[in-house]
Chains A and B, each alone.
Chain A
Amino acid sequence: MSVEYAAQILEGSHRAAARLISWLEDEDERAYECMRQLYPHTGRAYVIGITGSPGAGKSTLTNGLARVIRQSGLRVGIVAVDPSSPFTGGALLGDRVRMNDLADDPDIFIRSMATRGFLGGMAKAAADVVKVLDALGKDVILIETVGVGQDEVDIVDVADTTCVVLVPGLGDAIQSMKAGIMEIADVFVINKADHAGADMLNAEVCARIEMDAHLRKREWSAPVNKTVAVESVGLDEMWLSIESHRKYLLESGKFYDNRRERTSREALRMIHGELFRVVREQLEQSGRLDAAVEKLMAKKLDPYTLMRDTVTEWLSSSQCKRRHDEDTQS
């Protein structure tokens, strides 16, 4: 069944894509065979991240940008992330409210995702969802992060171009000098540019960029765009900025370098996750975790020794060794 889904997704089936995404969110085993089939068909779409504080206008901007992109005939996928409740696990996903004028365009696919406890401004499965939308035939994929503060920068692991959305009234020049989110912008967007303080914010952001250039030589300096998303002001210019960043990436060879780096990090992250899952399952099911925790609580064992012993034992276990032998033989 999952194999059929892969074929259907490659033919553009929204329904098959939607179900596969649910499986990915649930970490359902059925997803992975399908993803294996789709993987060779990924890497074609251009991925744009839209990040910024809650209420900055990310959804409205995403909506407006999608409309601009659609005018050039490109197909658009949107991943919109909102937070899960840490208490109930539920979520109210409200990004679609701002995207109603895209709702019946068959060449747009919008998926709302909850963070499900994943930090960093993204949902855990977001990178995989991007692959699904890519295989589905979307040319540009917009990822709208959850409203972020200063340090949630996981979007850079997925997006080719990251747009940081700022709004006036959230702080003084010192805020714009800090590390974290201000550093990841390939394109700055000052939204609500008709509000008081927008010019001041613009000046502060430009000052930061100028300072950046003095501190370290950069090939790309983030342009600053002013937008009023609710009135569709400045969106064409924002798209031009993104396009010129894309052009820079392609011409400088950075595009390939960035994607290679990301592929490497993703592979390591997946191996890390699976190794941990297997070890944890074994420790929990054998009751050894409980026993060890008892010893830790009684201070008869320390976690540093436990960590070393567990890893050493795991690496020398017969199962592991057998696999190693098979690999070296073949």
Chain B
Amino acid sequence: MAGKIKMIMAKPGLDGHDRGAKLLARVCAEAGMEVVYTGLRQTPEMIVAAAEQEDADVVGLSSLSGVHNYFFPKVVELMKQKGLNDVLLVGGGIIPEEDYDFLKKSGMNAIFGPGTPTTEIVDFIRTNVRKR
């Protein structure tokens, strides 16, 4: 049986707005992925531990409170420390376009802002995900 794409959907930090994360978790599940939703208020350590234990192919981070420039690179760094180098890291939420470059340079594979068609996100994951 072909492997299914396993995804972690997480909300780092204290931001309590999870409608987008929940919607995207459902969108990806509808697209045939197995999506682990971690819930709100995750530390980077919790997210990376979940990614390791679940053998996640993709980690999705959602942030709507302006803390992305701190939390996203922190997750990238911890992933690298654990040797989880081939996991696709995607972020989304209320993220100003001028931050995209910084986040990508710090190791995020893609950033999806408001208005991104959900199909674009699914396609990006399918195209770029690792082979186990």
Contact = CB atoms under 8 A, between A and B. Distances in A.
Contact of B39 (A18, A84, A97): A97
A85 interface: yes
B14 to A, nearest CB: 13
A93 B83 contact: no
Given A88-B31, A90-B29, A22 B42 contact: no
Interface stretch (A107-115, A254-262, A295-303, A309-317): A107-115
A281 B32 CA distance: 25
A90 B34 contact: yes
B25 A22 contact: no
B1 A27 contact: yes
B99 interface: no
Interface residues of B, number: 34
A96 interface: yes
Contacts of B132: 19, 22-23, 26, 28
Interface residues of A, number: 32
Contact of B37 (A18, A19, A94): A94
Given A26-B3, A104-B43, A92 B29 contact: yes
B131 to A, nearest CB: 12
A92 B46 contact: no
A179 B82 CA distance: 48
Contact of A96 (B3, B30, B38, B84): B38
B103 interface: no
A60 to B, nearest CB: 12
Contacts of A23: 132
Nearest to B2: A26
Nearest to A103: B46
A92 B23 CA distance: 11
Contacts of B4: 25-26, 89-90, 114, 116
Contacts of B29: 85, 88, 90-92
A15 interface: yes
Interface of B: 1-4, 6, 25-26, 28-39, 41-43, 45-46, 49-50, 52-55, 82-84, 132
